């Protein structure tokens, strides 16, 4: 999994797996889901991320046991 914030485009991209994207769909205004050839979710793009995400330069990650 990889998350990347692009300050120039104000876009947060969250990639769940490293496969080619077949299609993308705007599932809510400003939220785009990317789907692979197997139909599974590949990742998400959040447009105007600085308006949605509190800390665009900081990320916390936790694994539940």
* pTM score: 0.83
Q: What local confidence, expressed as pLDDT, does residue 59 receive?
A: 77
Q: What is the mean pLDDT of residues 48-56?
A: 86
Q: What is the secondary structure of 2-62 as a DSSP string?
A: EEEEETTTTEEEEESS-S-EEEEEEEETTEEEEEETTS-EEEEEEETGGGT-S-TT-----
Q: What is the mean pLDDT of residues 15-37?
A: 97
Whether the per-residue pLDDT at 58 is higher than 90: the answer is no
Q: What local confidence, expressed as pLDDT, does residue 14 receive?
A: 95
Backbone angles phi, psi at 10, to 5 degrees: 55, 50
Q: What local confidence, expressed as pLDDT, does residue 60 receive?
A: 79
Domain boundaries, the chain: 2-51
Say how many residues make up the chain. 65
Backbone angles phi, psi at 49, to 5 degrees: -60, -35
- Quickly count: other Cβ atoms within 10 Å of residue 48's Cβ: 13
């Amino acid at each position: 999994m990889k998350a990347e914030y692009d300050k120039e485009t104000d876009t947060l991209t969250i990639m769940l797996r490293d496969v080619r994207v077949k299609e993308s769909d705007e599932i809510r205004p400003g939220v785009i889901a990317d789907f692979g050839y197997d139909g599974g979710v590949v990742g998400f793009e959040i447009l105007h991320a600085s308006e949605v995400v509190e800390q665009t330069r900081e990320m916390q990650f936790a694994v539940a046991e």
